[in-house]
């Protein structure tokens, strides 16, 4: 059953990607339009989507219940990022690709693919843990992942955007609205809900157009691509399982939470990576390729990983 759902979700992604590819092929989109779409996503769509998720998925009760678990996915992601950063110093990687490599190995597609798979394999009670991991995964992607490969031309220490980019601020505004007991009227809530729903389709249309603009003749499954696929789908999830199973600080949480976090660590590369890389002109073709390939490999690998994780944590 989980395999069928995963295949269905991957096919949905590929259909949306194909629309972007077709649009670019028919010259309905050019490179400049695609770059403007990336700016729209990063500066408008993603912040509103994060605001909506913070407001909609984290009521006061949920916030009080899960705040104690908040440190777990944060530690898992930061430890993973530190490890991959250390490892990349000893790998023969091109300097321009190192930042993308690090982010791709750690940050996952937690909602579009991760959520339905977790619900299928682990039950609907895993949803709150998925949302918790999603928030940490997405916020840390923008705070440390993006900063790892985007070199700003002007380093302004007073620029809060360097530490809390727009999507992160959007999430915290949503949570703040909940904590203050502010209920959004329908004429505000409904539009942001619709914009949230548009985030994934627009992202995949962008990626599809980038696929058309990519010169795949110059690309091959080399150490940069193969290393990410191995690191993201196998090595990092294995490290997460080891930490959750044997680390005294991390294994004191419910088994379902541990299984959910481990499963999400094995998901494909976060789909926002190629978009940010495209906006800042950082290895656009490379980031687009690893995003597509890890998603394709996930069709076979994720159900297997899910079964192994269930056995390990006894859920």
User: What pLDDT, in 10s, does the model give residues 213-242?
Assistant: 876 665 567 778 888 999 999 999 999 999
- Closest by Cα among 133, 26, 24 to 73: 133
Q: What is the pLDDT of residue 151?
A: 64
pLDDT of the residue at 139? 86
- Examine the pLDDT at 152 and tell me if it is beyond 50: no
Lowest-pLDDT range, 7-11, 283-287, 297-301? Answer: 7-11
**Looking at the DSSP assignment, which residues form a beta bridge with residue 108?**
269
Residue 101: exposure state from Cβ atoms within 10 A (0-12, 13-18, ≥19): buried
Dist. CA 196–CA 62, nearest whole Å: 21
Asked if 315 and 14 touch (Cβ cutoff 8 Å), the reply is no
In this predicted structure, the answer to whether residue 82 has a pLDDT above a threshold of 90 is: yes
Among candidate residues 85, 193, 78, 87, the one with its CA nearest the CA of residue 139: 78
Residue 108 phi, psi (nearest 5): -110, 160
pLDDT of residue 2: 57
Quick check: 264 and 241 in contact, CB under 8 A?
Answer: no
- What is the pLDDT at residue 285? 82
Average pLDDT over residues 188-205: 89
Please check whether residue 47 is in contact with residue 170, taking contact to mean a CB–CB distance below 8 angstroms. yes
pLDDT value of residue 243: 94
Kindly report the pTM of this predicted structure: 0.77
H helices within 127-221, ranges in order?
A: 127-140, 146-149, 166-179, 186-213
Dig out the tokens for 261 from the structure: 């976090």
Find the helix or strand (DSSP H, E) in which 294 lies: helix 284-313
Q: Which residues 6+ apart lie within 8 Å of 39 measured at CB?
A: 279
- Position of tokens 């709150």? 128
All residues at 6 or more sequence positions from 166 whose CB lies less than 8 Å from its CB, including other chains: 42, 43, 46, 47
Angle at 55 between CA 50 and CA 57, to 5 degrees: 90
Q: What is the mean pLDDT of the chain?
A: 83
In angstroms, the CA 103 to CA 148 distance is 8
- Work out the burial of residue 272: count CB atoms within 10 Å of its CB; fewer than 13 is exposed, 13-18 middle, 19 or more buried: buried
Report the interhelical angle of 98-106 vs 223-230 (nearest 10°): 20
pLDDT in the model for residue 160: 43
Delineate the domains of the chain, giving CATH numbers in brackets: 2-213+220-313 (1.20.1530.20)
Burial of 22 per CB tally in 10 Å (0-12, 13-18, 19+): middle
Which pLDDT value is given to residue 306? Answer: 86
Check residue 157 and give its pLDDT. Answer: 41
Structure token digits, residue 290? 């690893």
Q: Does residue 269 contact residue 232 with C-beta atoms inside 8 Å? A: yes
Give the model's pLDDT for residue 191.
94
Question: Is the pLDDT score of 20 beyond 50?
Answer: yes
pLDDT at 154 over 60: no
- Local structure of residue 109 (DSSP, 8 states): -
Of the candidate ranges 2-16, 86-100, 294-308, the one whose mean pLDDT is the lowest: 2-16
* Largest separation between any pair of C-alpha atoms in the chain: 57
- CB-based contact 171:52 (threshold 8 Å): no
Task: Tell me the CA distances in angstroms from 81 to 60, 75, 86, 105, 231, one per residue in order.
Answer: 31, 10, 9, 8, 11
- Note the pLDDT of residue 264: 95
């Amino acid at each position: 059953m989980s395999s069928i759902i995963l295949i269905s979700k991957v096919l949905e992604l590929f259909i949306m990607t194909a629309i972007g590819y077709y649009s670019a092929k028919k010259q309905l989109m050019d490179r400049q339009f695609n770059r403007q779409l990336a700016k729209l996503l990063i500066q408008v769509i993603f912040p509103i989507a994060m605001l909506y998720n913070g407001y909609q998925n984290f009521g006061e009760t949920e916030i009080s219940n899960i705040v104690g678990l908040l440190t777990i996915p944060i530690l898992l992601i930061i430890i993973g990022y530190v490890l991959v950063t250390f490892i990349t110093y000893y790998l023969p990687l091109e300097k321009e690709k190192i930042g993308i490599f690090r982010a791709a190995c750690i940050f996952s597609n937690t909602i579009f693919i991760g959520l339905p798979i977790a619900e299928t394999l682990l039950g609907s009670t895993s949803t709150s843990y998925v949302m918790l991991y999603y928030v940490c995964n997405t916020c840390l992607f923008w705070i440390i992942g993006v900063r790892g490969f985007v070199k700003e031309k002007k380093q302004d220490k007073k620029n809060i955007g360097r530490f809390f980019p727009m999507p992160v601020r959007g999430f915290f505004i949503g949570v703040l609205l909940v904590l203050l007991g502010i209920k959004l009227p329908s004429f505000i809530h409904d539009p942001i809900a619709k914009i949230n729903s548009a985030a994934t389709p627009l992202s995949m249309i962008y990626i599809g157009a980038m696929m058309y603009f990519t010169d795949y003749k110059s690309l091959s499954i080399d150490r940069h691509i193969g290393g990410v696929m191995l690191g993201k789908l196998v090595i990092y999830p294995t490290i997460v399982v080891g930490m959750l199973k044997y680390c005294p600080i991390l294994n004191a949480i419910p088994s379902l939470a541990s299984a959910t976090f481990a499963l999400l660590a094995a998901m494909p590369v976060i789909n926002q990576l190629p978009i940010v890389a495209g906006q800042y002109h950082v290895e656009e073709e490379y980031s687009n390729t690893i995003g597509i390939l890890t998603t394709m490999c996930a069709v076979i690998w994720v159900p297997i990983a899910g079964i192994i994780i269930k056995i390990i944590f006894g859920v």
